[in-house]
Amino acid sequence: MSQKLYVGNLNYKTTEDTLKQLFSQYGEVISVNILQGRGFGFIEMATPESAVEAKNRLSGTEFDGRKLIINDARPRADHKPGERQPGGFEKRGGFRKF
C-alpha cells in the first residue's frame, strides 16, 4: 500500500527528478508531482514505512536553499468539476448583486 506526502516550501527551480532522487534514499518513489509556480508538490512512496522514514528524516532540512515542510497528504475532496464547494465566495459575505 502506497502513501502520499505533501512537500511544501519548495524552491521554484526544484525539478521532479531532483525531488525523486532525494526521496529515493528512503524507499521506492512511485510518483512525483510538483505544482509549478506554487512552491509545493506531492510524493507517493511505495510503503507507509518509507513515507514515515522520509518525512522524519527530511522535514525541516534544507533542499535547494529552502527548508522543506513535509506532511501526510490529505485526500482530495470528492466533487464534480465546476461544482461550487462549501465556503465559497457568497458564504464569506462578499458583495452581492440585488
- Residue 67 belongs to domain spanning: 3-72
Closest to 22 measured CA to CA, from 7, 12, 2: 7
Mean pLDDT of 35-58: 96
Amino acid type, 2: S
The whole-number pLDDT of residue 75 equals 85
Into how many domains does the chain fold?
1
| CATH code for position 15 | 3.30.70.330
Mean pLDDT of 49-56: 97
Q: What is the pTM of this model?
A: 0.76
The whole-number pLDDT of residue 81 equals 64
Cell of 3: 502513501
Q: What percent of the chain has pLDDT over 70?
A: 79
Mean pLDDT of 47-52: 97
pLDDT band, very low/low/confident/very high, at 77 (cuts 50, 70, 90): confident
Amino acid type, 21: Q
80 in any annotated domain:
no
